Amino acid sequence: MPKLYEYLGIIVFFYSREHEPVNVHGRYGECENKIEILFENGTVKSIRVLNVAGRKPLPSKQKKRV
C-alpha cells in the first residue's frame, strides 16, 4: 500500500493492483473512504467518494480535507 501523503492525521494511499477508474483511499484512524477520480479527454470530469466495506466512513471534516 504505497502512501501518497499524510496530512493532519489523514493518510492518502492506493493499492498498486487496483482497477479503473483511478482511485485513492483516505484513512483517518479506523475510518476510511475510497475516492474515485473520473477523467474525460484528460481532464477531471468528476470525483466520487465511496464507503469501504467493513470500515466506518471518514468524518465530514476529514472527508473534505481528503
Non-local (6+) Cβ contacts of 20 within 8 A are: none
Q: Report if residue 65 sits inside a domain.
A: no
Q: Report if residue 64 sits inside a domain.
A: no
Predicted TM-score of the model (pTM):
0.82
Q: In whole angstroms, how far apart are CA 54 and each of 32, 38, 42, 60?
A: 9, 24, 33, 18
Q: Which three cell numbers stand for residue 64?
A: 473534505
Q: Report if residue 46 sits inside a domain.
A: yes
Q: Report if residue 22 sits inside a domain.
A: yes
Q: What CA dihedral angle connects 53, 5, 8 and 51, to 10 degrees?
A: -20
Q: Report if residue 66 sits inside a domain.
A: no
Q: Report if residue 11 sits inside a domain.
A: yes
Q: Which domain holds residue 41?
A: 3-58
Q: Report if residue 25 sits inside a domain.
A: yes
The strand ranges marked E within 1-66 are: 3-7, 10-13, 22-28, 31-40, 43-51
Over residues 9-60, the pLDDT tens digits come to 999 998 877 777 888 999 999 999 999 999 999 899 999 999 999 999 999 9
The count of structural domains within the chain is: 1
